[in-house]
Amino acid sequence: MQNFIKLLVLSILGWATMVNAADQTPAPSHGISYPTGWQNWSHIAVSHRIDNKTLRVILGNDVAVKAVRTGKTNPWPDGAIIGKVVWKETQLENWKAAIAPGNFVHAEFMFKDSRKYTESYGWGWARWVGIEQSPFNKGAQICTSCHTPVKDRDWVFTDPAIIPK
State the DSSP code for 25: S
**Which one, of 53, 47, 81, lies nearest residue 67 by Cα?**
81
Under the binding rule (CB under 8 A), the answer on residue 142 touching a second copy is no
How far is residue 110's CA from residue 127's CA, in Å, rounded to a whole number? Answer: 9
Within its chain, how far is the Cα of 144 from the centroid? 17
Position 142, amino acid: I
Stretch of 39-47, 70-78, 118-126, 136-144 lying at the interface with a second copy (CB under 8 A): 39-47
Identity of the residue, 33 or 103, whose beta carbon is nearer to a second copy in the bound complex: 103
Under the binding rule (CB under 8 A), the answer on residue 70 touching a second copy is no
Identity of the residue, 12 or 150, whose beta carbon is nearer to a second copy in the bound complex: 150
Supply the minimum distance, in Å, between the C-beta of residue 142 and a second copy. 16
SS3 state at 49: strand
Under the binding rule (CB under 8 A), the answer on residue 78 touching a second copy is no
Within its chain, how far is the Cα of 18 from the centroid? 24
User: Among residues 7, 13, 16, 92, which is the contact residue for a second copy, using CB under 8 A?
Assistant: 92
Q: How many CB atoms lie within 10 A of CB 114?
A: 14
Positions in the binding site for a second copy (CB under 8 A): 39-43, 45-51, 55-57, 59, 65, 85, 87, 89, 92-95, 97-101, 103-104, 107, 128, 131-133, 149-150, 153, 157-159, 161-165
